[in-house]
Amino acid sequence: MRAIAATILLLATGCQALESYRYCSELAPAQLAALPARLSETGLYTDVGADTVAAGVMPYRPAFELWSDGASKRRWIALPSGTRIDTSDMDSWVFPVGTKLWKEFARDGIRIETRLLQRIGAGEGDWTTMAYLWNDTNTEASAVPDGIEDARGTSHDVPAANECAGCHGGRPARVLGFSAIQLSGDASPGMLTLDELVSRDLLTSPPAGRLELQADPDARAALGYLHANCGHCHNQQRPARIGERCFDPENTLDFLLRAGELGDVTQTATYRTAVGEAIKRGDPGGSDVVKRMSSRRRLPPSMPPLGSERIDEQGVAAVQTWIRGLR
C-alpha cells in the first residue's frame, strides 16, 4: 500500500512539477493601481482617436525584433522631463523612475492592444505592466489585467499583466528592445537612434559610437535574432528571482550580445555557452535550438514558450543558415 500511495503522490504532483517554470507571480496591488484604466490616460496620446502622440514621446524600432507571430508593432518611450538614462553599464541601462514604454500590436490590419511598461519606484524590480485592448472604433483602449485569448477576432493573445515578467523579468533593466545594441542599427525615418540619444544628452555615459556586431551577415542575423528572442530569458545575468520561477530556464545558455563582445563572434556568449551544446556546428537539424524553435509543443517546451503560437519560419531559416556554416 505504501507503494501505491507513493505512486499516487508522484503521479499527481509530478505532472504539475513539470510545468512549474510557467508560474509567474501576480502583480502586487500597488503595481496594478499605479496604472490607469484607459490608454488615453497613460500619456501616450494627446488625441487618441486621431492617433496623435504626445510631445516628449519618442518612437523607436530595435535592430533585432522580437517575433510576435507576425504582428506589426509600433513602439514609443517617454522619459521624465530633465532625466537621463544611467548608461554606466552599457549592457544594462538603468531608466529613471517614471519611464514609460509602449508597444502596440496589430494583426491583419486590426489594431489589437498596446502594452505599457512603467518604472514606478527606485528598486530594481519596481516596474509595472499592463496591456490595453483597443475598442472596435480605435478611439480608446482599456486595461485588461487578466489578458484575453484570440483578441478582436484574431489569433493574437493579449497577455495577463503578470505574464509580462516572463520576458521582462529576465533582465535587470526590465526593458528589452531599447538598448545600446538595439538602437545602433540603421533606423527608419523618425525613429530614435543611439546617436540621437547621445545628441540629446539623454545618456549619462555616452558610448564612443555605434555598437554593432563585427560579423558576416549570416552570423549577424542569427546572433541578433537569438539576442532579441532568446537572450531575455537565456542569460547568465538574470536578476535575483522574486516569487515564482516565471520562465527562468535555470540553465547556463546565454544568447545575449554584449557591448564588450562585439568585435569577434567567437567571443559572444552564444559561442561560449551554446555552440557545441544546444548548437551543433554544421548540423542545424541536430541542434536543440533549431528543434525548439521549429515546434509549438507543450512538452518539451518549444521556444519561445510564451507569446507565440506560430513558428517564425524566417527566424528559423536565419539560424539554420548560420549553423550550417559553422565549422
Partner 1 sequence: MTALPSPAARPAALLVVVVALLAPARAVQAQPAQSTLQAQSARAPERSTRVSLRSRMGLAESPFPSADAHKISGLLTSLLLEGEAPVAPALAVRLRLPLVLADIDEPAGAARSENAWGHPEAAVLWRVRETAAASLLGRLALAVPLPGGDAALARRPLDNQVLVLASAQRGYHDQELYAPGRVALTPSARIAASRGRVDVFGELKLPLMLAVGLGDVDPRTKVRRLAIASAAAAGAAVSWWRLRAGATLWSVVDVIQAAEIRGAAARRWTLTIDPEVSMRITDHVGAGLTATIPVAGALSALPAIGFVVTGAW
Is 226 in contact with 255 (CB distance < 8 Å)? yes
Grid coordinates representing 97 are 523612475
For partner 1, the closer of residues 17 and 240 by Cβ is 17
For partner 1, the closer of residues 121 and 147 by Cβ is 147
Q: Min. distance of Cβ 307 from partner 1 in angstroms? A: 5
Q: Min. distance of Cβ 185 from partner 1 in angstroms? A: 27
For partner 1, the closer of residues 192 and 303 by Cβ is 303
Is 129 in contact with 117 (CB distance < 8 Å)? yes
256 exposed, middle or buried (CB, 10 Å; 0-12, 13-18, 19+)?
A: buried
DSSP for 130-161, please give it. EEEEE-TTSS-EEE-TT-BSSGGGSSPPBPPG
Q: Min. distance of Cβ 156 from partner 1 in angstroms? A: 10
Q: Min. distance of Cβ 237 from partner 1 in angstroms? A: 22
For partner 1, the closer of residues 22 and 292 by Cβ is 22
Q: How far apart are CA 279 and CA 256, in angstroms?
A: 15
Q: Min. distance of Cβ 8 from partner 1 in angstroms? A: 6
Q: Min. distance of Cβ 299 from partner 1 in angstroms? A: 10
CB atoms within 10 A of CB 12: 9
Is 247 in contact with 305 (CB distance < 8 Å)? yes
CB atoms within 10 A of CB 86: 15
Q: Min. distance of Cβ 110 from partner 1 in angstroms? A: 17
Nearest CA-CA partner of 130 in 240, 259, 38: 38
Q: Min. distance of Cβ 160 from partner 1 in angstroms? A: 5
CA angle 188, 91, 68 (to 5 degrees): 50
Provide the β-strand partners of residue 142. 38, 133
Q: Which residues bind partner 1 (CB under 8 A)?
A: 1, 4-5, 7-9, 11-13, 15-17, 19-20, 22-24, 144, 146-150, 157-160, 162-163, 166, 246-247, 298, 304-308
For partner 1, the closer of residues 130 and 275 by Cβ is 130
Nearest CA-CA partner of 101 in 147, 62, 140, 49: 62
For partner 1, the closer of residues 138 and 155 by Cβ is 155
For partner 1, the closer of residues 7 and 52 by Cβ is 7
User: What region does 109 belong to: left with phi over 0, alpha with psi -120 to 50, or beta?
Assistant: left
For partner 1, the closer of residues 7 and 46 by Cβ is 7
